């Protein structure tokens, strides 16, 4: 029987077997296998894929192993905090800041899995669905399609469709959802929840603000990287955008995904933050509609900013732009290393070097600026309950 969400939903278990057959026949399959499982014969991996009959088996046997390899090969460790804020018996709308196309949501999945939670469904921009191979990998990994383009009428219709799907998946199918707090990745390091995203959530609910958003059980996430994935690609994009409309080149999103996977990221941290509660929503109940959304965005932003793990690179960049406020938090050698990293990466980008450096430093400094809005000039203590993911 056809479902109204068949055009955007992830695969169901009964669709996995055929998807695996298409995946192993793809010309991309051997290349990916050689990268992720280079010591295992391709035929062995192919047989393994063809044995999968559920989304869970694909996630545990492929995605879990793949993300562990990325963590081992391109980072100094994955840390997380606040998992105690979640209940294994509840489902959440995880609203996250967004830095990397693939890793942000992928890291969430393995942390949910090792802590006894069900993995979440994941929004997947239609601009990334460039081949059947990517569609099959994505939809086998609980990704659902998010349509962003079109006429104003089409955008409204697609937003309502997405809103209805999110609410249905959460309340009827009992599936948590991951979605970014804004349309696309944050390029300049200034994480802010877009009001349009919140309005999209509310489209499928009633007029009662508290019940509408209480039913969604919004749980903010704050993810940070010691070295921001694709930081130099983001610098270049911002620089060009200041002068003309930025038009993505063919394959640019795929290049960003590959860069995010392979570039050294240093430490990584994901903070699970206390969900937005009914009492907080009730405090905004008496406001007019627009102010309600502004108040909800402010609640979410405060959580994300305060729980964003600040690394030495963030403090160094802030001080390079604003004076030595946090100089006691890093060494001269660490600063010299960061400056050398910056200069080497920017040397291959055409443009005014001073402006490029300013853009690059903003990417790292803005999380400190946002933290200071709530906490002043005090440095961030270690986030409570911080743990390290132990790769197997």
Q: Please, what is the average pLDDT of the chain? A: 93
Work out the average pLDDT over 252-270: 84
Q: Which residues contact 156 (CB under 8 A, 6 or more apart)?
A: none
Q: What is the pTM of this model?
A: 0.94
Q: What CA dihedral angle connects 13, 19, 23 and 26, to 10 degrees?
A: -170
- Residue 248 pLDDT class (50, 70, 90 cuts): confident
Q: Are 315 and 329 in contact (CB under 8 A)?
A: yes
The CA distance from 240 to 242, in Å, is: 5
Is residue 86 helix, strand or coil? Answer: coil
The per-residue pLDDT for range 135-169, each reduced to its tens digit, is 999 999 999 999 888 899 999 999 999 999 999 99
Q: Are 218 and 181 in contact (CB under 8 A)?
A: no
Give me the helices (H) in 115-192, please: 132-140, 152-171
pLDDT value of residue 256 = 76
Domains of the chain, start order: 13-232+245-309 (3.40.1130.10), 313-387 (no CATH)
Ordered DSSP codes for 308-322: S---HHHHHHHHHHH
């Amino acid at each position: 029987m056809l479902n109204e969400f068949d055009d955007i939903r992830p695969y169901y278990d009964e669709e996995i077997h055929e998807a695996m057959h298409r995946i192993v026949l793809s010309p991309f399959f051997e290349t990916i296998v050689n990268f992720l499982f280079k010591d295992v014969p391709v035929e062995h991996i192919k047989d393994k894929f063809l044995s999968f009959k559920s989304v869970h088996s694909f996630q545990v046997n492929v995605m879990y192993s793949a993300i562990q390899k990325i963590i081992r090969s391109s980072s100094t460790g994955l840390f997380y905090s606040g998992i105690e804020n979640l209940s294994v018996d509840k489902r959440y709308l995880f609203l996250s800041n967004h830095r990397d196309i693939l890793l942000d949501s992928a890291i969430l999945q393995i942390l949910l899995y090792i802590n006894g939670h069900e993995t979440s469904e994941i929004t997947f921009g239609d601009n990334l669905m460039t081949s059947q191979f990517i569609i099959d990998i994505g939809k086998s990994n609980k990704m659902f399609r998010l349509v962003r383009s079109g006429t104003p009428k089409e955008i409204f219709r697609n937003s309502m469709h997405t809103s209805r799907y999110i609410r249905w998946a959460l309340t009827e199918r009992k599936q948590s959802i991951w979605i970014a707090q804004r349309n696309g990745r944050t390029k300049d390091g200034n994480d802010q929840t877009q009001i349009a995203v919140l309005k999209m959530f509310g489209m499928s609910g009633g007029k009662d603000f508290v019940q509408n958003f209480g039913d969604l059980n919004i749980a903010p996430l704050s993810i940070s990287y010691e070295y921001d994935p694709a930081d130099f690609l983001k610098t270049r994009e911002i620089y060009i955008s200041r002068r003309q409309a930025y038009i993505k080149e063919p394959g640019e999103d795929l290049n960003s995904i590959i860069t995010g996977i392979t570039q050294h990221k240093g430490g990584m941290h994901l903070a699970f933050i206390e969900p937005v509660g009914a009492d907080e929503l009730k405090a905004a109940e008496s406001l007019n509609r627009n102010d309600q959304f502004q108040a909800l965005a402010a609640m979410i932003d405060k959580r994300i900013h305060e729980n964003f793990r600040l690394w030495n690179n963030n403090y160094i960049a802030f001080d390079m732009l604003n004076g030595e406020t946090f100089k006691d938090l890093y060494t001269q050698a660490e600063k010299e290393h960061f400056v050398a990293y910056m200069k080497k990466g920017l040397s291959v980008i055409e443009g005014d070097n001073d402006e490029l450096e300013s853009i690059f430093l903003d990417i790292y400094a803005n999380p400190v600026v946002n933290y200071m809005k709530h906490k002043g000039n005090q440095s961030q203590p270690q986030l409570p309950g911080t743990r390290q993911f132990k790769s197997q």
